[in-house]
A and B are shown apart, each in its own frame.
Chain A
């Protein structure tokens, strides 16, 4: 017998049907963590430019390897989403009445993010075919 159980935050977070704001937050947070992790790697790989030409060329597969493209595209999407959703949050934080248009703004974010992502993925694919 265990007294006073409390629903854990993981199951609450995943099971709550909170709508677009709730899912935006989850994506914003996961995306932020992913970007921060890539940023650490990115600083290290660019640091190699300063070490030597050969050391950096060892790492060029990150940008050239076609098999890694889906990872790069996921990252591109994550960056665009985090940036645009962040701008939405800033707008709402400093002009609180904009929270009345939460749904419309969140939808706008999605539209812009999809357009930007499709554009860059298209550019990358065109570059691979060329």
Chain B
């Protein structure tokens, strides 16, 4: 057993930051592939000017429906969490007032919740 040395403030021992750092890398790697594929699919395979209600409806209710719903849901959850966690990083860097920081972080959490709820709702319940 080595001597414990005093330090102020004491380390929190929390694993939240390391997990959040790891999440950004893991989800980032997946998202990079999925979003690039998404963009190429929508711009090149479908074409921006061809996008309309029937294209989206056909994507979710057609033969590949399960695939596209899972793809879109995965993208939704990974990207919302990645994006809002990124904004949390920026908040930590630039907002130093403890009160304001708490307010902004609460707002980020709320927006994240709404993003997943709204996005998830349409992906799950859409039936044409």
Q: A–B direct touch, CB within 8 Å, in complex? A: yes
Confirm or deny: A7 has a beta carbon within 8 angstroms of a beta carbon on chain B.
no
Q: How far is it, in angstroms, between the C-alpha of A127 and the C-alpha of B50 when the chains are bound?
A: 9
Contact at A43–B76, with CB atoms within 8 Å?
A: yes
Contact at B36–A47, with CB atoms within 8 Å?
A: no
Residue of A nearest to B94 (CB): A9
Confirm or deny: B66 has a beta carbon within 8 angstroms of a beta carbon on chain A.
no
Contact at A39–B115, with CB atoms within 8 Å?
A: yes
Confirm or deny: B35 has a beta carbon within 8 angstroms of a beta carbon on chain A.
yes
Residue of B nearest to A9 (CB): B94
Chain B: interface residue total (CB-CB under 8 A): 37
Q: How far is it, in angstroms, between the C-alpha of A29 and the C-alpha of B90 when the chains are bound?
A: 8
Confirm or deny: A106 has a beta carbon within 8 angstroms of a beta carbon on chain B.
no
Q: How far is it, in angstroms, between the C-alpha of A36 and the C-alpha of B76 when the chains are bound?
A: 11
Contact at B39–A49, with CB atoms within 8 Å?
A: no
Chain A positions within 8 Å of B90 at CB level = 29, 33
Cβ proximity bits A110-130 to B, threshold 8 Å, 1 near / 0 not: 000000100010011001100
Q: How far is it, in angstroms, between the C-alpha of A6 and the C-alpha of B29 when the chains are bound?
A: 38
**Given A43-B76, A83-B31, A83-B36, residue A49 in contact with residue B122 (CB < 8 A):** yes
Confirm or deny: A90 has a beta carbon within 8 angstroms of a beta carbon on chain B.
yes
Chain A positions within 8 Å of B118 at CB level = 43-44, 47
Residues of chain A at the chain B interface (Cβ within 8 Å): 9, 29, 32-33, 35-36, 39-40, 43-44, 46-47, 49-50, 53, 56-57, 60, 63-64, 72, 76, 79-80, 83-84, 86-87, 89-90, 93-94, 116, 120, 123-124, 127-128
Residues of chain B at the chain A interface (Cβ within 8 Å): 25, 28-29, 31-32, 35-36, 39-40, 43-44, 47-53, 56-57, 76, 79-80, 83-84, 86-87, 90, 94, 111, 115, 118-119, 121-122, 125-126
